[in-house]
Structure 1
Amino acid sequence: MPSISRRGLNMPESPIRKLVPFAEAAIKRGIKIIHLNIGQPDIKTPKVALDAVKNNNLEVLSYSRTEGAESYREKIAGYYANNDIHVAAEDIIVTTGGSEALSFAMGSITDAEDEIIIPEPFYANYNGFANATGIKVVPVVSHIEDNFALPPIEEFEKLITLKTKAILICNPGNPTGYLYSREEIKKLTKIVKNYGLFLVADEVYREFTYDGREHYSIIQEEGLEDHAIIVDSVSKRYSMCGARIGYLVSKNKEVIKTAIKFAQARLSPPTYAQIAAEAALETPKSYFEAVKEEYVARRDILISELSKVEGVVAARPQGAFYCIAQLPIKNADAFAQWLLEEFNVDGETVMVAPAAGFYATAGLGTNQVRIAYVLEKEDLIRAVYILKEALKAYPG
């Protein structure tokens, strides 16, 4: 009988999606689920983006350019300029979601068995893309006690080998909500320049920063032009997760030239989604101001409610819309499954994402969960109440 590849067998399950069968079974039993597990915003997609698709007059749905429509890339460059990030259209490749941009970046700068250093916990799919490309994730641990701040640079230096090709960060962070400061970016700049490494930054949550803090992009750092690669996406910015449009951005011409070859192999990004995403760039600033205000209110309610639950420790997010909470349990995977299979309060339960899947170091995060606060405030209050009651009843 033919055998499955080791790469396929080693491909990690999504900590966000692997519990879906248990959720579906619960729904069939009549249980209502409050979803804290996935970062699908409930904010409405800008009408201008939806109307652009609805009202277009295409007669042939053709391929676009491999690197994305020129008019769209020009407007993306304008968007970045408005955020004090100065790049040209030729520095941008439009991709099928930020996921493809990350895949192109990894493929362009690493060979099999090369290494990328990533502060953990990190976006779970980094593990998946590393496995798919045959490279090794080398984690450097950040801690909930420090709100998941950048680990000391000395910890990065200990991990650098001849196989190290890059440091990868998510800023603001998924799953932590941590926002790296300008000073922390400068520390990373120094180390990648000293060791001849790339610095890859997943900046898809750029708009979502709180408490007066501002996002500082790695491309804003002078002298980092040959080292910096941005992964970006419209998914969360405009509540357009289903559009699957992202970008890879770099001033390093060799990186772009190489990434385009990977892009040519998949032909082109989706045409209708580019139409919607290009139109979304006309979204007024007031949209983001209202969205940020809403997420701050949701964050504050979530953290306040979690602080009332005995034994729970929660990091305070500074950006994005995720929170890591440490629970008084041994195994968050078992707890999350139990919530769906065996527990409810008046016919309702909650679905969380076990945090161990956001770590590369075995044994870390086993008593933590990621919570996405993309729900109405009343739903968040109800969800934390159910969580509190669940912890009282949980046999583990």
Structure 2
Amino acid sequence: MPKISNKGLQMPESPIRKLVPFAEVAKQKGHHVYHLNIGQPDIKTPAGALQAVKDANFEVLEYSHSAGIESYRKKLAKHYQDQNLNVDVADIIVTTGGSEALLFALGSTMDQGDEIIIPEPFYANYNGFSTSNGVNIVPVMSSIDNGFALPAISEFEKLITPKTKAILICNPGNPTGYLYSEEEMMQLTELVVKHDLFIIADEVYREFAYDGYKHISVMSIPALANHAIMIDSVSKRYSMCGARIGCIVSKNKDLMAAAMKFAQARLSPPTFEQIAAEAALDTPKSYFDEVITEYKERRDVFITALQQIEGVQVTMPHGSFYCVAKFPIKNADNFAKWLLEEYDLNGETVMIAPAAGFYSTPGVGLNEARMAYVLKKEDLIRSAEILKQALKVYQTIEK
């Protein structure tokens, strides 16, 4: 029988999706499952984006330019400029989701065996993207005790070797919800300039900042002109996860020339989704004001409820719509399966994403879980109550 590649065997499972079969069984039993495991917003997609697809009239559905439809790229550049980001049309390549943008970034900056430093916990798919590119992740640990703030720059410097090519951050963070301060961004700027590294910033949650905190984009820092690579996506901003449209943005012309080769190799991003994304740029500011208000209320309700559960440690995130909580248990993976297989509270249970998959350091985060507060407030309150009652039962079993 033909053998599977080592790369294929080493590809990690998604901690977000690997428990789906258990959730399906729970639903077959008639249980209602509250999905805290995945960042799928229930906010309505802007009507104009959906209408643009309905109104599209083609006799031939052609390839677009490998960099994306020109009118969309021009409009997107204007969108960034309106946010005081120094971005031109030539600095943008449209991708099939932020995921492809990350793959282009890694492929354009790194060779087999090169290293990328990432503060952990981090978006779980960074593990998969790195494995598929033959890149080694070098983690630098952040802590729940200070809300997953940027680790000390000295900790980064200890890890830099001749094979280090980039630092990757998610800002605001998935899974932590941490939003890097201006001071932290300037510390990173000095570091990457000093060591002549790239900084790849996954900014797909850039609009989701709360409590007066401000998102600082790498594209707003002049000193990073040749170092910064921004990853963006329409998925969360416009509640268009299924559209799979993102982009890679950089002022570094050599980097963009290399990324274009990858873009040409996959031909073009999908046409209908680009049409929807272009129309979404006309979404009024009031849409985002309402969305931010709604998510802040959901955050406040959910985090407050979690903090009231005995033994649970969780901090108030200032960005995105995720949090990482530490539970008074030994293994969150076993707990997550148990919730779906064996537990219900009046016919209801919850699905969480065990946080160990958001680390690359073995044995770390075993009693933590990432949860997304994308459900309605009453559902989040109910989810927290289920977790509270479930922990009381599970702790007696785990002993």
Which bracket does the TM-score occupy, shorter chain normalised?
over 0.9
Give, in whole Å, the separation in 2 of the partners of 1:293 and 1:127. Answer: 33
User: Match for residue 163 of structure 1?
Assistant: 163
Partner SS for 2:262 = helix
Separation (CA, whole Å) in 2 of partners of 1:369 and 1:82? 37
1:247 aligns with 2:247: yes
Question: After alignment, is 23-32 or 119-128 more displaced?
Answer: 23-32
Compute the TM-score of the two structures, normalised by the length of structure 2: 0.99
SS at match of 2:188: helix
The Cα shift of 1:286 comes to 0.5
Distance 1:303 1:261 in 2: 44
Partner of 1:378: 378
Superposition TM-score, scaled by structure 1 size: 1.00
Q: How many residues align?
A: 396
**How big is each residue's C-alpha offset from its partner over 1:229-286, in whole Å with a ceiling of 9 and x where there is no partner?**
0010000000000000000000000010000000111000000000000000000000
Which residue in 2 is equivalent to 1:295?
295
Counterparts of residues 272-287 of structure 1 (less than 5 Å)? 272-287=272-287
Contact preservation (8 Å) 1:97, 1:245: yes
Within 2, Cα distance between the matches of 1:243 and 1:4? 31
Shift of 1:316: 1.2
Return the alpha-carbon distance in structure 1 between the equivalents of residues 115 and 308 of structure 2.
42
What is the CA–CA distance in structure 2 between the aligned matches of 1:263 and 1:222, rounded to whole Å? 26
Query: Per the alignment, in what secondary structure is the counterpart of residue 314 of structure 1?
Result: coil
1:149 is aligned to 2:158: no
Superposed counterparts of 1:1-396, under 5 Å: 1-394=1-394, 395-396=397-398
Please say if residues 176 and 315 of structure 1, whose CA atoms lie closer than 8 Å, have aligned partners that are also in contact.
Answer: no
Report the 3-state secondary structure (helix = DSSP H, G, I; strand = E; otherwise coil) of the residue aligned with 2:186.
helix
Distance 1:107 1:169 in 2: 17
Q: Which whole-Å CA distance do the structure 1 matches of 2:18 and 2:4 have between them?
A: 20
Q: Which runs of 4+ in 1 moved over 3 A?
A: none
Specify the code of the residue in structure 2 equivalent to 1:37.
N
* Offset of residue 328 of structure 1: 0.2
CA distance in 2, matches of 1:341, 1:177: 29
| Corresponding letter in the other structure for 2:299 | R
Which residue identity lines up with residue 21 of structure 1 in the other structure? P
Which runs of no fewer than 5 residues in structure 2 stay unpaired? Answer: none
Q: Provide the rounded CA distance (Å) in 2 between the counterparts of 1:357 and 1:82.
A: 37
- C-alpha separation in 2, matches of 1:59 and 1:149: 52
Q: Distance between the aligned counterparts of 2:236 and 2:30, measured in 1?
A: 31
Structure 1 spans left out of the alignment, 5+ residues: none
Q: Counterparts of 1:352 and 1:83 in 2: how far apart (Å)?
A: 35
Q: Structure 2 CA distance, aligned partners of 1:82 and 1:181?
A: 21
Return the alpha-carbon distance in structure 2 between the equivalents of residues 50 and 214 of structure 1: 30
1:78-99 Cα distance to aligned partner (Å, 9 max, x none): 1101111011001000000000
* 1:58 to partner: Cα distance: 1.7
Of all paired residues, the percent bearing the same amino acid is: 65
Post-superposition offset of 1:318: 0.5
1:88-131: CA deviation from partner (whole Å, max 9, x where unpaired): 00100000000000000000000000000000000000000000
RMSD: 0.5
